[in-house]
Chain A
Amino acid sequence: METFFSFIAAHQQMIYIVILMVFVGIEVIGRVPAVLHTPLMSGANAIHGVVIIGAIIVMGQAAEDNYTALVLGFIAVIVGTLNVVGGFVVTDRMLEMFSGRKNTKNQQPKNK
């Protein structure tokens, strides 16, 4: 219990952010059409790839001779980057199709 209180006291600011972000997260995608469920999930997937920052810090703080930390950190950086880059590229590929259609739609009236 004591740990719990000291945790809250130590991270007061962070906890406020958590609470506000929960509401922002729900609000922001509140009225998403079913069409966009998959790209939205994929985009969100890429955003939580921000965990890569932690991996970079771990890697950057590892001592030269601490091979466990070096190897694990290195793997963490690779998989974290996979999450970020792969996530954004996949999302972009999905959305490319939407924008492609939008363009042709806009062009058609002009041609006629």
Chain B
Amino acid sequence: MASILTLIYLIASITFIVGLKMLAHPARARKGNLIAAAGMAAAIAGTILLYEDDNGNGLQNHFWILGGLIIGAIAGTVAARKVKMTAMPEMVSMFNGMGGACAALISVVEFEHLMSSLHATPGLTVIESAFQSGLRTHLLIILAGLIIGSISFAGSMIAWGKLNGSIRDITFRGQHLFNIVVLLLVFLMFFYLVGWLPANGVLLFYTVLGLSLLYGVFFVMPIGGADMPVVISLLNSFTGVAAACGGFLYDNKAMLTGGILVGAAGTFLTILMCKAMNRSLLNVLIGSFGSDQKQSGGTNAHGTTYKEISLSDAAMVMNYAQKIIIVPGYGLAVAQAQHTCHELEKLLELKGVEVTYAIHPVAGRMPGHMNVLLAEADVSYDKLQEMEQANSEFPTTDVVLVLGANDVVNPAAKDDPSSPIYGMPILDVSLAKTVIVNKRSMKPGYAGIENALFFQPKTSMLFGDAKQVLQNLINELKEL
């Protein structure tokens, strides 16, 4: 029986690797996801039916297990099905936090288990020392799973709250120092617990749990919303490592491979995302957005004014353009305007205008966010240009239509060293002949910085909800 389960775990591990590999290719991604899901289902079913401990005892409480699975499956499916495309990043963060919580809970139960077995065997000193060495590694893994899992849980919940707007950035003086002290305390207690197995271990264990949760909260708290994707990706890899701790605990290869695979891939993905913003991971984690440097942006002090353009003028300009590049951003996602945007694109194409999309790697709230949205609206894959490609196209472009994007087109990233986004590569839309910016208001973007682009003479503002504005543009264009 146990050997069948070993085989199931082996197959599950392979599906995880193959699934992840396929997820990295556009054409095979969906199948890859399904393959990994099938492997997971087999591993879960196999565990329930075939798992035996070292003494050959199977699992009990099947009723509870199935109940939990059913509740979790229904809630998970409903939440994942009902969530709006714009809220996808939050959802990922939320599910990631659940995984972290799961790992932390396992550690708590296993610790209680360990403590009760410890009391039950007062034992001889010689045997005790041998027993303790085995117990130490056990405790080491339990603690590691607890710390990483709870940091991931608390951090993900904060990231979730920040993305849906219910938690604001909170910063205070000496926050980084505070974080380092908390983390140091966690480490010290970790070593003390594992090294000395003190009598007050239970109290220490829960102190470690509390401090880890606290660290998770304050680790994410100062990081600005624009950097949240990077943080979620990092916490994602944390949860992977926490799951791998479970693999050590139960000598379970499927948990180990799955966990470490995600831990490594997640960390690598985090670095890729940082690279897309031309910043180091450390800079993202420490150089928090919206801290003291925020006031230094002097763009608004110039007293320059922006100019508005009317709908009919905008339609006119676009009608007689040869080449238009659309720069989508979070505003497009909020307004759910991707279908209307595609309609406008088709209409302009009919009129002989060349229309493409310039996708900044971190446009929206997550890398790839815009691609997913536009794909939903059937926008052709060939029309999406990556940043470098688009930047070389801008000088020959007549009109750039910026739809609810802000920070990714902010020239401050290029020429204002005091700006918090300085150094991030941007879409250089001011190289084009005309820039039309659609925004709901003049409010600054997600990073909370003023955008000098809006005040440039070649830029005109077209205020309103993206979907509404695009629909009106289409109507105007049809009449021309």
Query: A interface vs B, CB < 8 Å?
Result: 2-3, 6-7, 10-11, 14, 17-18, 21-26, 28-62, 64, 68-70, 72-102, 104-105
Contacts and interface: CB of A to CB of B under 8 A. Distances in A.
Nearest to B276: A34
26 contacts: A7-B136, A14-B253, A26-B264, A29-B21, A29-B24, A34-B371, A36-B26, A37-B366, A38-B92, A38-B369, A40-B265, A41-B269, A43-B29, A44-B261, A45-B236, A51-B259, A53-B254, A58-B109, A59-B68, A72-B108, A75-B68, A79-B99, A79-B101, A85-B72, A86-B75, A100-B376
B372 A57 contact: no
A73 B105 contact: yes
A42 to B, nearest CB: 5
A28 B33 CA distance: 14
B106 A76 contact: yes
Contact of B81 (A24, A41, A80, A93): A93
A41 B73 CA distance: 20
A61 to B, nearest CB: 7
Interface of B: 12, 16-17, 19-21, 23-27, 29-30, 32-34, 36-37, 40, 43-44, 47-48, 51, 53, 58-62, 64-65, 67-69, 71-73, 75-77, 79-81, 83, 88-89, 91-92, 94-96, 98-99, 101-103, 105-106, 108-110, 112-113, 133-134, 136-137, 140, 194-195, 232-233, 236-237, 239-240, 242-244, 246-266, 268-269, 272-273, 276, 359, 361, 366-369, 371-372, 375-376, 378-381, 384, 386
A56 B65 contact: yes
A48 B30 contact: no
B372 A97 contact: yes
Given A58-B106, A58-B109, 5 more contacts: A17-B260, A37-B361, A43-B32, A59-B65, A105-B381
Contact of B265 (A26, A80, A94): A26
Contacts of B51: 56-57, 60
Given A34-B367, A34-B368, A98-B375, A77 B32 contact: no
Contacts of A37: 269, 272-273, 361, 366-368
